[in-house]
Structure 1
């Protein structure tokens, strides 16, 4: 009887100890989950760094779950991407974002990844224009330099990388305007009054596509054409459906005053030229870009006016 009582007493004590040991584990699990939910709230409200520090504490405590450790990695990559974008290190941003590209959960991360992809795309386009501004100016191609400058300035400043590149290009904008003003003054001095009187359609008369099309059809230069003849050529070089697809694929913003010339090259490829008169000189037509667009694959390439090569931009 004594042995039986001792055995029952031992079992009761063991059960009590087990209950005591489970209680802290349950408490840790609850606190762990509460911290995780707080992290998601922080992410939802844009407090990424605060969320990351919370996750770091969880991981260092040794109680973080696999899902929580994965979230820490995702937030770290988010922070790396944002820092790289802010400092216009687009290759670094792209590499970090690539590791997050397949993220679907949690939704707080997936939404930020989607937004960052748009930001990176805009920043890459801005970088293309910025590099062209410098290269074209140095090469003396002022209409192309002016066009790239206008295209860069037309991009939204809501992204820090874009705003930074826009600000850095401002001095070149002034230099380009000065060169163009000097060129038009010289040209005007050597142009007959009759030629000036018949001028018009500045962008169309400077368009490479329009000039090529008119010369093929008439054997004459567009420079000597009447405004009516120029208008006729322009009407033949429009395609609203192709342009709608082009804008969606390229994410190139439409600026009031842009003029587009569209020429079909084959069943699925089109050449698109964008021109805009200079904001400081209406007699100057800036080339904002010569593009090729594949409507089947949505691939957009842009002509490098120095090398003569088309480079993909999307």
Structure 2
């Protein structure tokens, strides 16, 4: 199976052929994959070199001309390093675009901490009007990317979308629609929300437990109605969030969804502490307690209190 990043390259190459309004802005990363697109559309495939702030600025400038920019690099260089440009050149100027990341939390461990961005979604959450997709399978990534590329006119320019790709993937795709959380399993002892590539681990971790499992491939906007509905059917409104980025990123959104119910929320995800050994993805999962055994231990402990 191809990776989400592979699918992003092939899908975006086709989208550039199909829609003359689309433009792609790169900062060296993934450039080799877009050689064909660069030859076919030299005026709409722009590589700025290792200048990430410029990359965002160029994307915002293209949006001001009426184009729909797709801007791509590693999450740490797409969200963290040029954050001021994301805030101003897209948000403040009221234009839309699609930011597509790779790498993210710990997907390239040998790249070290400079290439890790577990706080990217939390950082984007400080900005108004961004949709955030966290697909769990390449097929989901393709669907969400296609929807994002078309954009939505809303009177404030096209919408702004962040698509967070991962090297991790669930075994199969789910019928995501870019809005709703999906019900994977129903139970009465609590609700576990699995985000993106965390779903398979959550299913394994909750095997035999009487819990509802919701699947979220789009986390902003947060599907408060689905969480409220699922929690309201349980014996107690206890909710566990399992996110592949900074632990607790969505706990405020879950609390807001349950404001009229007595409830408890546990946020599981990447810890704030820095792991200073490269290791492998599976070792990072275990270190953060995000493998099935670690998840089950913490979910059982929380729900049994």
TM-score (ref. length: structure 2): 0.26
Higher strand share: 2
Rg: which structure is higher?
1
TM-score (ref. length: structure 1): 0.25
Higher helix share: 1
Relative contact order: is structure 1 or structure 2 higher (C-alpha 8 Å, sep ≥ 6)?
A: 2
